[in-house]
Amino acid sequence: MKPYEQYPYNYHTLSNGIRLIHRYTPSQVAHLGITIDVGSRDEQPKQNGMAHFIEHCIFKGTTHRRSSRILSRIDGVGGELNAYTTKEEIVVYTTFLNSYYERATELLSDIVFNSTFPDKELEKEKSVILEEINSYEDSPAELIYDAFEKLVFGNTGLGRMILGTPEKVQTFTSDSVKEFIKNKWFTNLMVISTVGSIDFDKWVKLCEKYFSIYPENTTNRRRHSIYHYHPKQIEENRDTYQAHIMIGNQSYSYRNNKKVAFTLLNNILGSPAMNSALNMHIREKYGFTYTIESTYTSYSDNGIFQIYAGTDEKYVDKTIDLIEKELLRFANKRLTQSQLSRAKQQLKGQISIQYDYNQNEMLCIGKSLLNYNKVQTLKEDFEEIDKITPMDILEVANEIFVPSQLSRIIYK
């Protein structure tokens, strides 16, 4: 914990409402990103895929630079420039040597606020994205996750694919992209985060120089959708070599105070760790599955819990039966203090390792400040985990693992 006590988080809000968070680290490599609180769930149905499309096309030219100059500005000095889209955020970020802090800060400002989205470049990128969609649809192990979210969340923003559809993507133009940005991007819903070896006051001055020049544009928007969840079982013949199974339910939003307890329970059940309950009791004991894991994703007003398993078609029924038994075991039997203590130590270790990668930390603190208007230290995270009791775990298991509320998709 000493590094985080020695180098605490620093905060600042620019005059236009953009929030800054910084942590000094004595490294030659720095990480900088801007997290924008708009994602695929904020699209209208006819815009499905727009946020992801913008993420691709934001590097295609600005009022100051051609695409080639954008791509070589950081890469040309050994750094990396990238972006990604989720259901609730667009993130543009870069990794570079500390001596290029001003270059990186200026470039992100130019990309986010001055992109021109020329139609000629957009047409080229459409082909790239259509190939991405086709490739994705050829991967049932990935596609089943989106299919399950559609089953759970229906025809809402959370239920639609981030990539969109080929038909929708083909309709996007420079004007429609700019209109989306005009209506959805707000300065008080932007966070710039950095982890690197730069004095905080110096970095604030850089952000004031390159970001404060843009006018304040704020909103009181708060996402809320109405979900009419009804459990369903779907089976599709996709002529795949391996059968794919998805079982799950709605879960807690990131504002729910039960989120931490369920995060711990999900980690016990099906984290990527080799000693997860699903892996030990199904893969290792019986050899039925090649891959089996559970995931919990929390959104601003809802969440989703999913168990994925890839197995031979002849083991589908046995695998489902064993998964359901595992869920009932957690719902019916309270963990012992020693079991809970071991699980807490494991989760703490995983969080610590994740934060040991400075790029991960930079991305996490940007999202945390955006969602909670604060960032907890590792010590504070651990204190929350330590407060969890066996009854807390039993309670969330009985709320989420209810057999009659579980949905299922099977691809064969």
Q: What is the mean pLDDT of residues 217-226?
A: 88
Return the pLDDT at 4: 52
The answer to whether the CB of 109 falls within 8 A of the CB of 210 is yes
User: How much is the pTM?
Assistant: 0.93
- DSSP class per residue in 240-294: -SSEEEEEEEEE--TTSTTHHHHHHHHHHHH-SSTT-HHIIIIIIHH--EEEEEE
The count of C-alpha atoms lying within 13 angstroms of the C-alpha of 237, restricted to the half-sphere facing its C-beta, is 0
Evaluate if residue 279 carries a pLDDT over 50. Answer: yes
Q: Tell me: pLDDT of 166 over 80.
A: yes
What is the pLDDT at residue 307? 98
pLDDT at residue 6 tops 80: no
CATH of 233-411, one of 3.40.50.1820, 3.40.47.10, 3.40.50.300, 3.30.830.10: 3.30.830.10
What does the buried/exposed string (b/e) look like for 57-73 if buried means 16 or more CB atoms within 10 Å of the residue's CB? bbbbbbeebeeeebeeb
Mean pLDDT, residues 88-114: 97
CA distance 312 to 314: 5
Going by C-alpha positions, the residue among 118, 163, 119, 101 that lies closest to residue 138 is 163
Question: Which one, of 334, 335, 276, 338, lies nearest residue 309 by Cα?
Answer: 276
In the predicted structure, residue 40 carries a pLDDT above the cut 70 = yes
pLDDT at residue number 225: 81
Residue 2 has pLDDT above 70, yes or no: no
Q: How far apart are CA 85 and CA 382, in angstroms?
A: 29
Q: What is the dihedral of CA 254, 257, 259, 264, to 10 degrees?
A: 150
pLDDT grade for 5, boundaries at 50, 70 and 90: low
The pLDDT value recorded for residue 272 is 87
Contact 253, 301 (CB under 8 A): yes
> In CATH terms, are 7-210 and 233-411 the same topology?
yes
Question: In the predicted model, is pLDDT for residue 364 greater than 90?
Answer: yes
Neighbours of 296 (CB within 10 A): 21
* Distance, CA of 170 to CA of 70 (rounded, Å): 25
In the chain, domain spans:
7-210, 233-411
The tokens of 112 are what?
Answer: 């986010």
- On the question of pLDDT at 1 being above 50, the answer is no
pLDDT tens-digit map of 303-340: 999 999 999 999 999 999 999 999 999 999 999 999 99
Give CATH for domain 7-210: 3.30.830.10
CA 176 to CA 410: how far, in whole Å? 37
The CA distance from 406 to 305, in Å, is 10
Dump pLDDT digits (tens) for 231-260.
999 999 988 889 999 999 999 999 999 999
Let me know if 120 is exposed, middle or buried by CB neighbors in 10 A (0-12, 13-18, 19+): exposed
